[in-house]
Amino acid sequence: MTVTPERLERREGGFVIEAERLAALLGLPAEQVRAELNAGRIVTRVEKGEGEDAGTWRLTFLRGADRARLVVDAQGRELRRSRISVPPPPKGARGSPPRSYPTPLTAAPPPAWPPAPSRLADEDRPDEATLRALVDDFYAQVRADPELGPLFNAAVADWPAHLERIAAFWSSALLGSGAYKGDPFGRHRPHAPQMTAAMFERWLALWAEATEAHLSPAAARSALSKARRIASGLRMALLPQVAGDGFRLPS
């Protein structure tokens, strides 16, 4: 029998979550959660959904390298939850000194990218050749970009293989093909010391231009929405002090 979680209590500017529920989400004893909240070792953030996420709220709980989230509706009903643990970049990574990460809750790597059924109408679904042209054009812009180019050109040793892998990723993300079997978090983690929040914004801006040029309006909107979610997840994991993209801090 499936047990439906109780609604979170709504208060001005956010929601109230019981220590026991947060403890279950983080995989910690409730007393430890209370102590770490009081000591400031667990940081909370409440963000309001916009666009496709309008009418929902995202509650994020950051504990060192660990991030747990609840997405709820305006009445506090839980819609989905997630939890990831991102180990620190490997020693010897180029660039600025690595950030200090507490020991993660679990040593298990993040799950591989899960394919999902496409929601695009048949007439809006791009074929594989269109996706490959989109990816090629987008990364040509990325490589030439003054802000993103140095990072990507230093990180990618084999561009043909990279473009093939990214085309498979977007085939999975947009078409539900399941062609991508990799670990996006693992591939980005070694380069976290060189990343900034502004780079994610620039990446999204170039992606928006490329999708508008190559896809139908509906497919371009879907691709940009998915890219925002991906960027938000990566940015929250790799730059945990920075707020995400798909949701905004309420004014």
What is the per-residue pLDDT for 184? 77
Q: Domain check: are 129 and 61 in the same one? A: no
Question: Which class for 230: exposed (0-12), middle (13-18), buried (19 or more C-beta within 10 A)?
Answer: buried
Look at residue 144 and tell me if it is in a domain. Answer: yes
Number of structural domains (the chain) is 2
Nearest to 173 by CA among 215, 139, 144: 215
What is the per-residue pLDDT for 245? 45
Q: Domain check: are 127 and 228 in the same one? A: yes
Work out whether the CA dihedral 105, 85, 247, 146 comes out positive or negative. positive
DSSP readout, 113-125?
PPP----S-GGG-
User: Which helix (H) or strand (E) segment is 82 a member of?
Assistant: strand 78-85
Q: Domain check: are 139 and 229 in the same one? A: yes
Q: Domain check: are 13 and 80 in the same one? A: yes
Question: End of a domain among 40, 65, 85?
Answer: 85
What is the per-residue pLDDT for 122? 80
Look at residue 109 and tell me if it is in a domain. Answer: no
- Residue reference for tokens 């180029």: 94
Look at residue 162 and tell me if it is in a domain. Answer: yes
Residues of the domain holding 197: 122-238
CB 193 within 8 A of CB 89: yes
Q: Is-above-0.85 flag for pTM?
A: no
Q: Domain check: are 77 and 141 in the same one? A: no
Q: Name the DSSP letter for residue 29.
A: -
What is the per-residue pLDDT for 3? 59
Look at residue 4 and tell me if it is in a domain. Answer: no
Nearest to 81 by CA among 37, 27, 10, 12: 27
Nearest to 22 by CA among 5, 2, 1: 5
Please write the tens of the pLDDT for every residue from 161-210. 999 999 999 998 888 888 887 777 778 888 888 888 889 999 999 999 99
What is the per-residue pLDDT for 151? 94
Look at residue 67 and tell me if it is in a domain. Answer: yes
Q: Domain check: are 80 and 139 in the same one? A: no
Q: Domain check: are 70 and 18 in the same one? A: yes
Look at residue 113 and tell me if it is in a domain. Answer: no
Tell me the CATH number at 30. 3.30.505
Q: Domain check: are 145 and 225 in the same one? A: yes
Look at residue 164 and tell me if it is in a domain. Answer: yes
The list of the chain residues with pLDDT below 70 reads 1-4, 12-13, 86-118, 237, 240-251
